[in-house]
Amino acid sequence: MEDLDLKYRTDHLTISELKTWGDQISAMDDSALEDILETVWNKESYNEDNVDEETLSRIKSRIDEETSEARPSVFKPIFTRVLRIAAAVMLPLLLISTLYLYQENKQLAADTITFSTGKGERASITLPDGTQVSLNYDTRLVYTPKLYSKDQRRVELNGEAYFDVAKNKDCPFFIDAKNLEVKVLGTKFNLLARNKHTSAELCLDEGHVQFTSLVNKEAVTMTAGDYAVLDYATGHISITQKNELRDATAWKKNEMVFQDKALEDVIEELKDVYGVKFNLPNSALNQGGFTGTLPLNNLELAVKIICSSYEMNYTIQGNKVVMSPK
């Protein structure tokens, strides 16, 4: 301990030694800490003049606020000297705590676990508390193990996932995504929240959730069967009682269900799923929306269904799909 103290006072402590010193101080009982402080107090190397006037002024001002105004002036010289010595002793200890906490938080930030799927991929994972999550294509879910415990459960999502959250009334489950937060205790729901989209969608299968917009702080409580859409730009959340869950979770059965969806949007979805490029005539984009079911695991069948609906021919050349009028 004395070696580390000497190294600190001569500005030779490494980060590793600084952490060790912090651990040693944290482990001390009151008696041992008093002995250390008394030793430091009596060391001449802690020069009271090492404390700058600005720091001294701030400390004195704070103490003045907490003490009586009726303080005999005869004690001021003694008080100033004690204040300087106390600052000289405490500032190094405060520096240790600050740097130690900085290193701890930096380590926490680094220890994250990421699950991700690529184009056309899906995956199922189980979180430490037993919560089961199914990830759709091109989805990323992140959590920090040290912050995922009996006291709190929090994950980040960019993409689409179906959550079957383990019940725990004393420990809510939070999902952070673009411009929103979802809070649950234990329930099943599908959340579509892609950063590149203009809105997010939540379909509640069982239980209750609190759906909050981080744009305008609007918060709604949803019940089973509710379908909510959050506009990223305005933050407004609209809810209908119509149960859209069957369509929203069709991807779990390798299907995409569209209801009067603009063909341009359907094509964009296929690009994301299959990782291919499309070339189609502009005339097709003006023929109205597409309604139907497309497979997530068969590109040619998906293209064939679309071309049949819009009376087009198609060819698939590597990673490029070319559509043309019949």
Q: Are 197 and 217 in contact (CB under 8 A)?
A: no
Position 179 scores a pLDDT of 95
Q: Are 278 and 271 in contact (CB under 8 A)?
A: yes
Same domain, 155 and 46: no
Average pLDDT, the chain: 78
Which of 109-118, 288-297, 317-326 has the weakest average pLDDT? Answer: 109-118
Which of 53-57, 173-177, 182-186, 240-244 has the weakest average pLDDT? Answer: 53-57
| pLDDT greater than 60 at residue 10 | no
Q: The domain that contains 292 carries what CATH number?
A: 3.55.50.30
| pLDDT greater than 60 at residue 76 | no
Same domain, 225 and 104: no
Q: The domain that contains 131 carries what CATH number?
A: 2.60.120.1440
| Owner of token pair 């060391």 | 43
Position 208 scores a pLDDT of 92
Same domain, 51 and 135: no
Max mean pLDDT range (8-17, 68-77, 246-255, 266-275): 266-275
Position 322 scores a pLDDT of 95
Give 246's pLDDT tier (boundaries 50, 70, 90).
confident
Same domain, 293 and 206: no
Position 66 scores a pLDDT of 46
Position 282 scores a pLDDT of 83
CA distances from 291 to 41, 87, 259, 261, 262 (A): 80, 73, 5, 6, 9
Largest CA distance in the chain: 103
Tokens of 251: 């991807």
267-278: per-residue pLDDT in tens? 999 998 999 999
| pLDDT greater than 50 at residue 72 | no
| pLDDT greater than 60 at residue 314 | yes
Reduce the secondary structure of the chain to three states and give it as a string: CHHHHHHHHCCCCCHHHHHHHHHHHHHCCHHHHHHHHHHHHHCCCCCHHHCCHHHHHHHHHHHHHHCCCCCCHHHHHHHHHHHHHHHHHHHHHHHHHHHHHHHHHHHHHHCCEEEECCCCCCEEEECCCCCEEEECCCCEEEECHHHCCCCCEEEEEEEEEEEECCCCCCCCEEEEECCEEEEECCCEEEEEECCCCCEEEEEEEECEEEEEECCCCCEEEEECCCEEEEECCCCCEEEECCCCHHHHCHHHHCEEEEEEECHHHHHHHHHHHHCCEEECCHHHHCCCCEEEEEECCCHHHHHHHHHHHCCEEEEEECCEEEEEEC
In the chain, how many domains are there? Answer: 3
Boundary residue ending a domain (202, 218, 247): 247
Same domain, 240 and 262: no
Position 83 scores a pLDDT of 46
Same domain, 243 and 270: no
Residue 177: give the domain boundaries: 113-247
Position 242 scores a pLDDT of 63
Query: With a threshold of 0.75, does the pTM exceed it?
Result: no
Position 221 scores a pLDDT of 94
Same domain, 205 and 301: no
Boundary residue ending a domain (247, 275, 307): 247
Position 98 scores a pLDDT of 46
Same domain, 216 and 162: yes
Same domain, 18 and 126: no
Burial class (CB within 10 angstroms; exposed 0-12, middle 13-18, buried 19+) of 15: exposed
Same domain, 167 and 212: yes
Same domain, 268 and 316: yes
| pLDDT greater than 80 at residue 312 | yes
Burial class (CB within 10 angstroms; exposed 0-12, middle 13-18, buried 19+) of 70: exposed
Boundary residue ending a domain (209, 231, 247): 247
Position 130 scores a pLDDT of 93
Position 1 scores a pLDDT of 58
Same domain, 214 and 152: yes
146-195: per-residue pLDDT in tens? 878 777 899 999 999 999 999 998 899 999 999 999 999 889 999 999 99
User: Which has more confidence, 21 or 77?
Assistant: 21
